Copies of this chain bind each other. A is one copy, B any other.
C-alpha cells in the first residue's frame, strides 16, 4: 500500500461503536476502566512515561510508587511471597513454563533419547496456556473431557497417565480457574494437594478470577498464580500479574541476568513499561473492594438471578455448575437456533437483534450455544438483557 496522507487516514479517529453498548463478552465485562484508570491513562499515556525516574528496573521505580505496588500491595492481594506486573496472563504462564523448562534442560540433555518434558492441564485450558507450553518446548497432557465439570480425580488420572507415557513427572500442573468456556470453579485445593503428593508445582490461571473474586494462592495451596489486567482488573491492556509462593521458586523464576545484575531474564528486563501499569494501579483500590467476599457474593447472586430468568422460559439450558458460582456462563439456546433456521439473515439474526438493543458480546453467527458474562452490570441491566432475549424469542414466535 502507498503510504500517503490519504491512504493513512484510515488509521486515525477510529470510533469504537460498541463503547456505549452493554457488553456481555466475558473478555470485556471486568476490563472496563474505572474513572481513576481513565485519568491515569491520559496522564501517563506518552510512550515510556513511567521510566522518567527509573533507576534500573521497572518493579523498583519509586515515583510513581510501582515498587510499593509490586512488592507490597500485589503479593498481599494475590496471597504470594513475590509478584510482578507482566504483559499479560499468557506472558506470565510462558515465563513460568520457560523458566521450569530451562531449569530442566540439563537433566533432559543428560537423558539423551529421553522423552520431552510436559505440563498437565485441565481439559478446558485456554489456548494461550497450550501455546505457552508449546513455545517453551513442552508437551501438553490434558485431563479427560468431563460431562459437566473437572474433578480432582481427573487430575490424578492425568498425572498417572503422564508418568506412564513419559516415564517422568510433568514439570507443572495448570488449572484454569474458572475455565473460560463454562465458568466452572474446580476444587483447586484438592487438585493442588494431589499435585503436591507427586511434588509437582501448581499454576493457577486466574485470568477470569484475579480482580473479580476473592482469591489467595497460599490458601488455595498453589505455587504460581497469574491474572489478567485487561480481562479482570479494569486495566488497559496488555498487562497482567504473576505471583509466586516460596522464595526458592521466586528466585528461580525471577533470576537475574548474567549480563545485567538488576534485570530479570524471564521479564526481559522490564515488562509493562507504559500507561497500562498505571491504569492497573489506579483501578486497584476498586478492584480490591469489588473482590471482597460480600461484593463477589452479590455478583454471583446477580448471575444466578439472570440464569433463573432464562431457565424459566424453558428455552435456555446452562452448561456446567448449576447453581452457578461465577459471572461467566454458557448456554444452549434451542429457541435462538430454531429462529436462525428461518430468519432472513440466518444465524446472524441474533447479533443484529442484540445490536438494535445496544447489547454486544455474543459472537456474530452464534445462536445455539454461546457464552456471556454478567459481571459488574447490576440487576437492572441484567434484567434488561433477559427481557431482550425473551422479546427476541417472542418476536419470532418461539414463546
Contact = CB atoms under 8 A, between A and B. Distances in A.
Nearest to A282: B12
A55 to B, nearest CB: 8
Contact of A131 (B27, B49, B237, B257): B257
A268 B238 contact: no
A231 interface: yes
Interface stretch (A3-11, A167-175, A181-189, A245-253): A3-11
22 contacts: A1-B72, A2-B76, A5-B285, A7-B73, A8-B73, A8-B288, A11-B65, A11-B285, A28-B49, A30-B47, A38-B45, A41-B236, A46-B236, A48-B230, A105-B137, A109-B112, A127-B260, A128-B263, A134-B265, A236-B274, A237-B275, A237-B276
Interface stretch (A90-98, A149-157, A316-324): A90-98
A173 to B, nearest CB: 18
B76 A3 contact: yes
A274 B236 CA distance: 6
Given A88-B273, A131-B260, 12 more contacts: A5-B289, A8-B285, A11-B285, A12-B36, A16-B49, A27-B48, A31-B47, A31-B49, A128-B268, A135-B265, A237-B272, A238-B273
Interface residues of A, number: 101
B38 A268 contact: no
Interface of A: 1-3, 5, 7-16, 18-19, 23, 25, 27-28, 30-33, 36-49, 51-52, 64-65, 68-69, 72-73, 76-77, 87-88, 90-91, 94, 98, 102, 105, 109, 112, 127-128, 130-132, 134-135, 137, 140, 229-231, 234-239, 257-260, 263, 265-266, 268-269, 271-276, 278-279, 281-282, 284-285, 288-289, 360-361
A285 B135 contact: no
B16 A33 contact: no
B268 A94 contact: yes
Contacts of A68: 1, 10
B27 A43 contact: no
Contacts of A47: 27-28, 30-33, 229-231, 234-237
B127 A259 contact: yes
A15 B42 CA distance: 10
Contact of A33 (B45, B128, B230): B45
A371 to B, nearest CB: 14
Nearest to A281: B11
A171 B87 CA distance: 27
A135 B51 CA distance: 23
